[in-house]
Chain A
């Protein structure tokens, strides 16, 4: 086949896919069905802690003599003082809907505002649809062609950034706003072929962080009235990617990733940009993540290699990673990638001075402001949900899919499990004024084939 886009336009990479596809075997239906009944079985077992212990020991042996030891040493040492140190917290959890009007796993985004609870879905055919949760369940608000990527209220008007899928012409980033008179959505800014990842209300301006060319060329655009937009420079924007941003009104924080000056040799990794309305700069003091034991290098790759999201709560900014992943060597060599089931949290009151902390009990999937603190949907380590798989008479314990639960924190550092937390197969969270939260299940943790979708209202208080 002849793809219309290809990675870096390099012929070698096209050859790789071509060679693999040309060597792909032909598998007939009878080849598969003839194996039914042979011993490939799966059954759940009780958690087996020794699996991870063994992995840790093996990893220490494999990686001894280089910085990677620090990853596991740090994780082992920190594991003695778990981040979940306080008793569970009881929140009000109310199931408000268990319907699934959209295709399996089409749910892309949730939002909550004074007008209600909204969901955004997108099908494999790139048809997106907006829904509102009413007494009758999820009600379609219509089909459009955009995927919402960010939103912000500025001067009392709601703005939304999105992506229009334009077929072979590529995607176009747009910023829409609600017209105060007609109450219709109107397009106020477009970036052909671009992407807008964050809309921030800061310093009397509305600032958009994004990329001019797909996910390359990090840029910012700013507007003082929401309709006229100008391009703005971003400090150290080369080889950088921004995925999220937020603001406290005075300072905006955008987070993402950035390569070092020598790709594959030096990765600067996690990156933060500040916006005070006048410029978009780097923080004066970003912690040395290497001091946490997570700044190791094998073959030039460092972790954490990026920051997932940033939220602003009553105790300042909290930036977090999802899973910390430990890279190994190339396939075929001894070192293999292994997952470190932990998250990194950076905290700051002003956006300039940051402290870094490691959460060792779970990996944060999504975090939102909630009341006076933060609520997180987080994945437990895989060893808490192992499977025993028997293949050709050999029994092997492998990590199964993670179980997600809700956790609450006052400060982003110490977390309390939410009592009776829903089994969040693939959760999305949204808040309004830090009080009401909606979480959505896309499938039950114990049986992903169910593909149920459940909405919850979660409120603080016993």
Chain B
């Protein structure tokens, strides 16, 4: 491990673990993030060896989340009932969590974290046009449900 690894971790771990929670749920977020960091440490020896740790780790989380879904025999709920208030309609949560990881990540980063599309594309490792596509698809998948509320 590098001497600056812990500093890099402290700088980015908050947003990374929140992003991991969006991808696989808070219950599996720590495992997802840990496995990504462990891979970096195994293959590269340190976090500081990464040219741009932040976008690298975001992209790695998305990729690892895909594998996480593939490995899951049967996906567990991303949030248990005791983790959210009764004010949140389960069907809305289910619809949002039912979005494919890339779409969900694009919506979260763009509309909640309020990042420009250019930065979202950087963090997801795809072209800006692809982010726009994810947002378009996600918005339309959610539009009908939210308009009924």
Chain A residues with a Cβ under 8 A of chain B: 1, 3-8, 10, 12-17, 19-21, 23-27, 29, 31-33, 35-36, 38, 40-42, 103-106, 108, 122-126, 147, 165, 171, 195, 215, 239, 241, 243, 257, 259, 262-265, 267, 301, 305-306, 325, 327, 329-332, 334, 336-337, 389, 391, 396, 398-399, 401, 426, 449, 451
A263-B140, A331-B94 are known contacts. Are A8 and B6 too (CB-CB below 8 A)?
A: no
Measured CB to CB, the closest approach of chain B to A158, in angstroms, equals 21
B residues near A243, Cβ cutoff 8 Å: 129, 132-133
Our pick among B50, B114, B136 for the contact of A241 (Cβ within 8 Å) is B136
A-B contact count (CB 8 A): 216
Question: What interface size band does chain B fall in?
Answer: 35 or more
Q: Are A215 and B136 in contact (CB under 8 A)?
A: yes
A residues near B35, Cβ cutoff 8 Å: 40, 391
Our pick among B114, B133, B149 for the contact of A10 (Cβ within 8 Å) is B149
Q: Are A449 and B79 in contact (CB under 8 A)?
A: no
Measured CB to CB, the closest approach of chain A to B70, in angstroms, equals 5
- Measured between alpha carbons, how far is A401 from B1 in the docked complex, in Å? 26
Our pick among A14, A21, A41, A108 for the contact of B18 (Cβ within 8 Å) is A21
A325-B100, A449-B50 are known contacts. Are A40 and B128 too (CB-CB below 8 A)?
A: no
Our pick among B98, B107, B133, B146 for the contact of A331 (Cβ within 8 Å) is B98
- Measured between alpha carbons, how far is A105 from B50 in the docked complex, in Å? 13
Closest chain A residue to B35, Cβ basis: A40
Known: A8-B146, A24-B21, A332-B76. 7 other contacts (CB 8 A): A14-B112, A21-B21, A105-B55, A195-B132, A257-B133, A331-B77, A332-B97
Q: Are B141 and A108 in contact (CB under 8 A)?
A: no
A residues near B140, Cβ cutoff 8 Å: 239, 259, 263-264, 267
- Measured between alpha carbons, how far is A390 from B30 in the docked complex, in Å? 18
B residues near A12, Cβ cutoff 8 Å: 88-89, 92, 146, 149
Closest chain B residue to A9, Cβ basis: B146
A residues near B137, Cβ cutoff 8 Å: 257, 305-306
A5-B111, A126-B116 are known contacts. Are A29 and B38 too (CB-CB below 8 A)?
A: no
